[in-house]
């Protein structure tokens, strides 16, 4: 029987990746299209991609596919051919990473989800086929020169913090499902303006544009291929780059530089910095921004209590984590907690 899941330890997989001599290309893509038998589609795709050593994270659902992967350089064309065997994926745009070290992923995971983007939409009248108009990089630049254009960032707060387009509006929320109704509320009174939605690779802003049309807005656009495609296009065509800072990405890199500007600050000392990291204390694993000086001083940890914990034995650390459920832990969700940690007022989280 063909292997349909990884059976090797994460440590060994990471070691294998470091020992690879062939370069890899990091690619992201998505497509909204109906899949009747999601399990069969998932298993067939896993067999094909596993055979050519594709790594990454892929979600499939009845509404389509969403993927962030890395492919050995010698297999990129074979990978394209695999996608071409599926009619809805023929000619699909692939977003090639802007700033790529080839170490973005080390294992292949294909998971079945209810939706490829969790949106909270339960209105049966909502139709993804009725979506906003695409704008390419050149048209985006032209439209954003118009004062009657509103640009909305449909990413999470920690993504916006390190990089965004000039004059882009942040929808201050932790989840996409919360952002959709918030964007509608924020745009009340702007029905006569051009509204451009954007995100990392296009998948969230495409759905957001459809939702805005569903809620009665008329002049709705979304940036084709998101920030990644925009950055590649302005570089290839010599266009003005309106994106400031870094593009947060959901892989081991945690970011790719789009412009040289650093618009964020270190969450520990307040100096200019835009490097995201996860706290070295596995029981905390807080996602936050840390400068080089603080990384050295805190040994990659978010606080002194966490720094103390990483010096305990493995058994002692595991005991502290026992029975704790690890959840997504992001700095801006609890800025007060970060300050309290640094002041020693509360113990570090172990879950």
75 DSSP assignment:
G
What count of other Cβ atoms lies within 10 Å of the Cβ of residue 103? 17
User: What letters, b where the CB count within 10 A reaches 16 and e where it falls short, cover 181-207?
Assistant: eebbebbeeeeebbbbbbbbbbbbbbb
* Interacting residues of 134 by C-beta distance below 8 A, sequence separation 6+: 221, 222, 223, 224
What count of other Cβ atoms lies within 10 Å of the Cβ of residue 77? 10
Is the CB of residue 223 less than 8 Å from the CB of residue 203?
no
Is the CB of residue 35 less than 8 Å from the CB of residue 64?
yes
Q: How far is CA 290 from the centre of its chain?
A: 19
Stated as kind and residue range, the H or E segment containing 288 is strand 287-289
* Interacting residues of 124 by C-beta distance below 8 A, sequence separation 6+: none
User: What is residue 113's three-state secondary structure?
Assistant: coil
Catalytically active residues, by annotation:
199
- Whose tokens are 């050995």? That residue is 72
Structure tokens, 313: 């034995």
Q: What is the DSSP string of 189-210?
A: T-TTSEEEEE-SSSHHHHHHHH
The number of helices, as runs of H, and strands, as runs of E, in the chain is: 12, 15
The count of C-alpha atoms lying within 13 angstroms of the C-alpha of 284, restricted to the half-sphere facing its C-beta, is 27
């Amino acid at each position: 029987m063909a292997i349909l899941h990884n059976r090797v330890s994460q440590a060994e997989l990471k070691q294998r990746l470091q020992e690879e001599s062939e370069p890899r290309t990091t690619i992201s893509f998505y497509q909204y299209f109906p899949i009747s038998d999601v399990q069969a589609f998932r298993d067939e795709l896993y067999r094909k991609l596993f055979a050519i050593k594709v790594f990454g994270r892929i979600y499939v659902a009845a509404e389509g596919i969403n993927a962030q992967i890395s492919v050995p350089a010698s297999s990129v064309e074979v990978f394209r051919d695999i996608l071409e065997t599926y009619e809805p994926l023929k000619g699909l745009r692939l977003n090639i990473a802007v700033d790529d070290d080839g170490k973005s992923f080390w294992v292949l995971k294909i998971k079945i989800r209810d939706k490829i983007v969790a949106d909270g939409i339960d209105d049966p009248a909502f139709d993804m086929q009725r979506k906003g108009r695409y704008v390419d990089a050149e048209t985006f630049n032209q439209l954003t020169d118009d004062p009657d254009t509103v640009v909305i960032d449909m990413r999470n707060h920690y993504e916006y913090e390190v990089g965004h387009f000039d004059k882009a509006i942040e929808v201050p929320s932790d989840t996409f499902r919360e952002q959709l109704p918030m964007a509608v509320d924020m745009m009340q009174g702007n029905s006569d303006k051009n509204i451009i939605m954007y995100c990392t690779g296009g998948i969230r802003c495409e759905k957001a544009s459809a939702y805005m049309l569903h809620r009665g807005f008329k002049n709705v656009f979304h940036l084709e291929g998101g920030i990644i495609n925009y950055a590649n296009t302005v570089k290839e065509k010599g266009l003005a780059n309106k994106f400031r800072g870094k593009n947060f990405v959901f892989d081991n890199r945690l970011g790719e530089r789009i412009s040289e500007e650093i618009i964020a600050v270190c969450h520990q000392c307040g100096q200019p910095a835009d490097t995201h990291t996860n706290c070295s204390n596995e029981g905390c694993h807080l996602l936050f921004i840390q400068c080089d000086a603080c990384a050295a001083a805190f040994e990659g940890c978010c606080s002194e209590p966490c720094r103390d914990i990483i010096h305990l034995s493995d058994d002692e650390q595991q005991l502290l984590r026992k029975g704790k459920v690890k959840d997504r832990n992001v700095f801006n969700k609890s800025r007060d907690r970060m300050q309290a940690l640094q002041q020693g007022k509360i113990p570090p989280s172990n879950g």
